[in-house]
Amino acid sequence: MKLVIQSPLPLDTVHHKPLLGLARGSSLTPIDAHAVHIENAEPGQRADLEVYCGTHQLDYAFVEAGRALADFGLVAMDMDSTLITIECIDEIADFCGLKAEVAAITEASMRGEIKDFNESLTRRVTLLKGLDAGALERVYEERLQLSPGAEQMLAGAKAAGLKTLLVSGGFTFFTEKLKARLGLDFTRANTLEIVDGKLTGNVIGEIVNADVKARTLRETCAQLGIEPTRAIAMGDGSNDLKMMGAAGLSVAFRAKPVVREAASVAFNHVGLDGLLRLF
């Protein structure tokens, strides 16, 4: 196994010797100013690496030696708190004075405390009934920001020949704008019902929950003629777990503990472009 250590800031060489010792690897090689890789690292050293890297705000990942990004054919991403920094529904709710109530439900759902995502989303969307649909545009223009490294990650993935899928329990209003802005290949999300310029408090059609996310990944892979093992899935909340489990490589991005524990790789400090340094 190859061990990749990454830092959001330039990685001080003072870390090289202790990291090599903790990993019980054979050699350490800088990748760039922010990362190194250690050959023949022992996965059994995860506990020690977890403590050291957590203390120094570093991210570590064990990856199969010899793999290349081009070995994959698809990168599938969650939207809210993964590709972008916000939870769109929480920000929409702010325009009707209900951000705290909606955010509390969102957080409980993402931690896995509310098991029924459909119920969680329905409860939150109902609270938006009567809101002027113009609030969606304001959220996009005034509050939506890409996560650190998002554009670099997408550029690197596309250069390696991967297709891109944005699959979200959020809303098509935002996924379609991001599709056009970032040149994404596929999107799937929920559609908010709007009548006479107002949100009705309803979602149109099938709700994109954990099962639908996983199914969308598999269907997109089938459309591309690749196995799901050639997909990379990135997410942060419990409703991403099934999609991540269906993929060949899963990345937990600044994620809830339950997601970090299940993922192949966790980025707690570096940006999404950390994906490019794994290979």
Phi, psi for residue 236 in degrees, rounded to 5: -130, -20
Q: Check 78, 236, 240, 273 and give the catalytic one.
A: 78
**32 is an active site residue:** no
Phi, psi for residue 38 in degrees, rounded to 5: -120, 125
**78 is an active site residue:** yes
Residue 36 near residue 126 (C-beta atoms within 8 A): no
Residue 261 CA, distance from chain mean position: 14
Alpha-carbon span 279 to 77, nearest angstrom: 19
Residue 190 near residue 203 (C-beta atoms within 8 A): yes
The DSSP letter of residue 276 is G
- Adjacent-strand bridge partners of 6: 35, 59
Residue-wise DSSP of 120-181: HHHHHHHTTTT-BTHHHHHHHHHT--BPTTHHHHHHHHHHTT-EEEEEEEEEHHHHHHHHHH
Which amino acid, one-letter code, is at 250? Answer: S
Cα angle: 144, vertex 150, 154; to 5 degrees: 130
Catalytic residue IDs: 78, 80
